[in-house]
Amino acid sequence: QLQLVESGGGLVQPGGSLRLSCTAAGFTLDGVAIGWFRQAPGQEREGVSCIASNGGTTNYRYSVEGRFTISRDDGKNTFYLQMNSLEPDDTAVYYCAAGGIADYFCLSKETYAYWGQGIQVTVSS
């Protein structure tokens, strides 16, 4: 069965950190685009960060650049989103995504074939 399984969300105070993980089952992440998206209530799903299918290009949403870092562990077929200096506006359901080819710009939802189940991240005092 082809799927992505997320973990690591939760409640954190402003200024805190969380790390999200996404593990692929049934297919390899090698050679495809991987990314993180988020959706707040009443808003469109938006791209947060991604690694292009060429493996070397990363994209970040402007509002998270310098605070969030995407990384991967090919040996575990897993990728991560390290989120530091979290702000209340980061509150959303976060989705990981994989599959598809995007050599440079990879923050488009239409690029991705597979999606995680979504995980809640809440930033609040």
Query: What's the chain's average pLDDT?
Result: 96
pLDDT in tens, 8-29: 999 999 999 999 999 999 999 9
What pLDDT is recorded for position 117? 96
pLDDT at res. 68: 98
**Contact between residue 20 and residue 94 where contact means Cβ atoms under 8 Å apart:** yes
Give pLDDT tens digits for 29-44: 999 999 999 999 999 9
Tokens 């947060």: give the residue.
48
**pLDDT score for 5:** 96
Query: Per-residue pLDDT for 69 more than 90?
Result: yes
For residue 23, give every residue at least 6 positions away whose Cβ sits within 8 Å of its Cβ, in sequence order, or none: 4, 5, 7, 76, 77, 78
Question: What is the pLDDT, as a whole number, of residue 54?
Answer: 86
Two tokens, residue 107:
């923050």
The pLDDT tens digits for 70-117 are 999 999 999 999 999 999 999 999 999 999 888 889 999 999 999 999
Torsion over CA: 68, 22, 33, 44 (sign): negative
